[in-house]
Structure 1
Amino acid sequence: MRIHTPVARLTAGLLFACALTAANIGNAAPPPTAAAPATSTANALEAEQEAAFKAANAVQKAGPADIALRDQAHLQLPAGYVWVPTPAAAQLMRSMGNRTDDTFIGVIFPGDDADWMAAVKFVKEGYIKDDDAKDWNADDLLKSLKEGTEAANEERAKRGIPGIEVTGWAQKPQYEASTHRLVWSALSKNKGSTGENQGVNYNTYALGRDGYLSLNLITNAKDLEKFKPDAAKLLGAMQYDDGKKYADFNSSTDKVAAYGLAALVAGVAVKKLGFFALALAFLAKFAKIAVVAGGAALWGIAKLFKKKT
């Protein structure tokens, strides 16, 4: 499997987060700068992406494969999926205008033409207590998520970054206590946008002794139901190593996270949604480059990875 073309040329296959539609992108006005500087910048971006694709190609692994996730867990990558580890994955994300940090491990792509990708992180926050899951109210969580996002818009406005708004659940938070797996997904878009085509992050988490693994599948909201089985399959393929499992927690020695499970949805999520707005600021300059959403870039990425014939 190999990357065969720069993302900048894949405008027909773009997917969008934050209710950015193909029409929005295609009709975006060019930046008010001279043609020569704009062309030079576009060429530099394409060169950066070409280098990132080359780096990703050199290290990508096709399933079935055993992927170590830091010193915490292993991913038994099934056949039909492709894994790109960091630092190459981080380089790829940066080439798309994305921010990554030391929690970022890598990205998973479908091996076919399905339009989604999944960012994998491990957040070493400590043991997250899950006792609040039995009492949470999805409506209250959504209200908190909306209010937190609106408050964060004030800071975005100061930085010249477009505001965003949460419009509802694509998947209400569901926690399976027996496996310590959490799933939730919120719909969000440009604040005030009337676009109907919303992007979505489908968030899945596996809790462990030292923190949590996050697998964030990004796609178009209208296609989410079709790709949920992929997220479930990949989440199920993640298993913590002995000594790192949720059940291995030692209250005498281990760190306990400063927040519980509900805050992982309603609190931490607000921070994650900020990546949507950062992406829009990037997109305003380079309209043909795909959106960054929730810690990962999103485009018609499946078309970059093709099986050799």
Structure 2
Amino acid sequence: MTDSRVNQDNNHRKDTKMRYLLALTMLLFSTLLLADSDQDLENYFTNIESEIVYGPGTVLIEDAATFQLAYGQAFLNKKHIEDISRLLGTEPEKNVAGWIIPGTPDETSTESGWDVIKVEYADSGHISDDVDWDYDRIMKYLTDDQSERGNEVLGWVEKPNYSQASHNLSWSFNINTFEDENYDVYQNIVLGRSDIMGFSIIAPSINRSNNLVMIHTLLDSASFNPHHQYDDYQAGIDKDSTLGLAALVGGVAAKKLGLFAVILALLAKFGKFIALAIGGLAVLLKLKKKNT
């Protein structure tokens, strides 16, 4: 086979894979899309590629909080996600602050046991960190909530844990989806003076050990800036929240603030396709780079 024929075949495979990934990515947002949405999305990715933040590096959220991206991680900011939503005819999420996806600025291949980390930021008011965990009650809520979505909760991966020093809250649980796929759901919140920053991930359970290390590393790197930190709170001046830590984990606060809802709903709706669809964003960007 001639070199030109080999190149044509390689380009055809890349083009086919790119279009497949585009289709899966669009599935995340809507099943009813305009005919030219794939081209609009492809053009948009090309235009924003230089704006994507690659790790290692620092990401600033709302001029109030930061976290560290590791090598092999890339960040799409709030505007990117809002623009993509509008391109696909859906409403942007209320509290979206961005997505972390696997990716590097060159052609280096990255392997990860996850496909997207959803970053959220919400004006919650100051949340009291006094808590008396009732794990059974929280698990019952999670079980009932996931059952409504067609998923079965199998148990805790890590029970809710709060650090008084860092004001970081984390918990995770294992589910079996309606398509009989086994996933872990990781949810993490950093408390600020009157705001909270959250990270949520859904990933195959087979990658649990590596994912736990990755998410705790990310959470440990997250903090609020001076004047926005939890201990900067001033009673009588700052807005107080009626919510507590147990409410954050138990879902009351999540529903009230709109946190975590979309990524869980997407998993329930699209099952095993969600990982391919979101992960396709990172692969798409790398394919675009190779073709330019």
CA distance in 1, matches of 2:198, 2:231: 18
The aligned residue for residue 182 of structure 1 is: 169
Normalized per residue, the structure richer in helix is 2
TM superposition shift of 1:207: 0.7
* CA distance in 1: counterparts of 2:158 and 2:86, whole angstroms: 29
Q: Which residue of 2 aligns with 1:113?
A: 111
Write the mapping of 1:99-138 to structure 2, written as runs, cut at 5 A: 100-111=92-103, 112-114=110-112, 115-132=114-131, 135-138=132-135
- Deviation per CA, 1:230-270, whole angstroms, max 9, x where unpaired? 21222222221111111111112111112100010112456
2, 9, 13: which one pairs with 2:20?
9
- 1:261 pairs, out of 245, 252, 256, with 245
Q: Within 5 A, what are the aligned runs for 1:143-222?
A: 143-149=140-146, 153=148, 163-190=150-177, 193=178, 195=180, 197-222=181-206
Contact 2:266 2:274 in 1 (8 A): no
Structure 1 residues 101 and 300 mapped into 2: Cα distance closer, same or farther (>3 Å)? closer
2:168 is aligned with what amino acid?
Answer: R
Which residue of structure 2 lines up, in the alignment, with residue 34 of structure 1?
none
Identify the match of residue 303 of structure 1 among 263, 275, 283: 283
Provide the C-alpha distance between the structure 1 equivalents of 2:43 and 2:85, rounded to a whole number of angstroms: 12
8 A contact 1:127–1:256 mirrored in 2: yes
Using the aligned pairs only, state the percent identity.
Answer: 25
User: What letter corresponds to residue 70 of structure 1 in structure 2?
Assistant: E
RCO greater where, 1 or 2, for CA within 8 Å and sep 6 or more? 1
Instruction: Tell me the SS of whatever aligns to 1:88.
Output: helix
Do the aligned partners of 2:120 and 2:198 also contact (CA within 8 Å) in 1? yes
> Quick check: 1:56–1:92 contact (8 Å CA) kept in 2?
no
Q: Compute the TM-score of the two structures, normalised by the length of structure 2.
A: 0.73
Contact 1:7–1:299 under 8 Å retained in 2: no
Amino acid at match of 2:55: G
Distance 1:77 1:299, change over 3 A: closer
CA deviations 1:183-217 (Å, max 9, x no partner) are 11233454xx361x223331111111012110113
Asked whether the 8 Å contact 2:81–2:92 carries over to 1, the reply is no
Q: Secondary structure at the match of 1:170?
A: strand
* CA RMSD, Structure 1 to Structure 2 (Å): 3.7
